[in-house]
């Protein structure tokens, strides 16, 4: 009797061309279209739909990577593209006066600091795994943008402001957690 089970491909840690990486890069390539829709159409269902596709693809690439094998390229690309996508969207939304600049600046500075920190501790051979709180941070950041783009919430400025400030607070909290995690593993300052 033969086994007819279809097995998913498995990629080694050095693989570059993987389905998970394709989804990650697709998210980056779809972001300018979301920005175009937001700037030219405003808060519409198509704008929100493309934004949701960009946001949800972040979770999908993680699921695919876990099933088929995480790679060093994915571990590098995914968080980098996440930062580029979220900051590009925040900057565009704030430039239209829909969100205040200060929490977005705080988020941007944290993202730069986190990238530098991961690079420094990475050179020491230390990898700091993602925390569940960082996933919540990303979720709240996505909703800070989504509330501006969804037709039912587009005029609820108080909700936009509250959500982006909550995102900024979670962003700072997760950075503090990562620094503590790094110190526990023996990473330098």
Predicted confidence (pLDDT) per residue in 86-124, tens digit: 999 999 999 999 999 999 999 999 999 988 888 888 788
Specify the higher pLDDT residue, 62 or 50.
50
Residues 6+ apart with CB under 8 A from 151: 43, 44, 45, 48
Q: Could you tell me the pTM of the whole model?
A: 0.86
4 pLDDT exceeds 90? no
8 pLDDT exceeds 80? no
CA neighbours within 13 Å on the CB side: how many for 43?
Answer: 17
One CATH from 3.90.1150.10, 1.20.120.1760, 3.40.50.720, 3.30.413.10 for 19-184: 1.20.120.1760
**DSSP string computed for 37-85:** HHHHH-S-HHHHHHHHHHHHHHHHHHHHHHHH---HHHHHHHHHHHHHH
């Amino acid at each position: 009797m033969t086994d007819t089970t279809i097995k998913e491909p498995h990629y080694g840690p050095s693989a570059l061309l993987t389905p998970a990486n394709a989804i990650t890069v697709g998210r980056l390539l779809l972001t300018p279209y979301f920005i175009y829709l937001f700037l030219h159409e405003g808060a519409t269902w198509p704008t929100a739909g493309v934004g949701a596709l960009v946001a949800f693809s972040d979770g999908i690439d993680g699921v695919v990577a876990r099933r088929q094998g995480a790679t060093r390229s994915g571990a590098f690309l995914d968080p980098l593209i996440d930062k580029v996508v979220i900051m590009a969207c925040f900057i565009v939304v704030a430039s239209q006066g829909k969100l205040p600049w200060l929490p977005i600046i705080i988020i941007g500075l944290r993202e730069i600091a986190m990238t530098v920190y991961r690079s420094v501790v990475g050179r020491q051979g230390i990898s700091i795994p993602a925390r569940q709180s960082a996933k919540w941070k990303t979720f709240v950041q996505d909703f800070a943008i989504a509330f501006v783009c969804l037709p039912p919430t587009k005029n609820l400025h108080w909700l936009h402001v509250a959500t982006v400030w909550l995102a900024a607070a979670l962003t700072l909290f997760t950075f503090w957690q990562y620094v503590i995690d790094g110190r526990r593993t023996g990473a330098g300052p």
